[in-house]
Amino acid sequence: MQDGFTIHYKYLVVCPGLQFDRHNIGGLEENPGKNGVCSNYSYEHVQYTGECIRDFQSGNAVFSYLQSAIKCGGAPQKIMYLAEEAFQKQGVRGQSNVSFYSANADMFSVEKYTKVLNQIIEDRGIVCAFPTEFNSY
């Protein structure tokens, strides 16, 4: 510690916490859980995600992954794949655009999985954009 005090331990568990700074994105703070804005990282709003997927008829379904540490790096993609499959089963996939915007350089941090995921998104017609491509959108 800064004051020179030493703490002895057998195990160290660091829990820095998680902070959602929705206020930093205009309009986001007041909209999760309504107006088509979903968050699977909010207990209060996660059921709304399922409602939006079930009620989706056509248009743009946009999924994103920010550049921050989360417990499961694949979670933002998982809900996208589940939604895309639901749109297929509901017969509305032809009237929908599914896109994934990631702050990471690729679909996944492990190349072996990236190759498989890239094939899946190509097969399903999902549009993906990464930091180097953002200027074209």
DSSP string, the chain: -TTS-----S-----------GGGSTTTTT-TTBTTB--TT-TTTHHHHHHHHHH--SEEEEEEE-SS--S-TTHHHHHHHHHHHHHHHHT-GGGEEEEEEESSSSS-SSHHHHHHHHHHHHHHT-EEE-GGGGGG-
| pLDDT (average), residues 21-27 | 74
Residue 26, both tokens: 């205009």
Q: pTM score, two decimals?
A: 0.74
pLDDT, residue 137, reads 47
Instruction: Give percent of the chain above pLDDT 90.
Output: 35
pLDDT at 14 over 60: no
Mean pLDDT score of the chain: 81
Name residue, tokens 């549009």.
127
C-alpha torsion angle, residues 18, 19, 20, 24 (rounded to 10): -140
Distances (CA, A) of 2 to 14, 32, 57: 17, 40, 57
More confident residue, 20 or 136: 20
CATH, range 59-137: 3.50.50.60
pLDDT at residue 85, as a whole number:
97
Q: What is the mean pLDDT of the segment spanning 13-34?
A: 71
Judge whether residue 57 has pLDDT over 90: yes
- The per-residue pLDDT for 91 is 97
Confidence check: pLDDT of 123 > 90: yes
Q: Regarding predicted confidence, which is higher, 101 or 95?
A: 95
Contacts of 38 (CB under 8 A, 6+ apart): 32, 45, 46, 48, 49, 52
Location of each CATH 3.50.50.60 domain in the chain? 59-137
Most confident of 17-31, 40-54, 112-126: 112-126
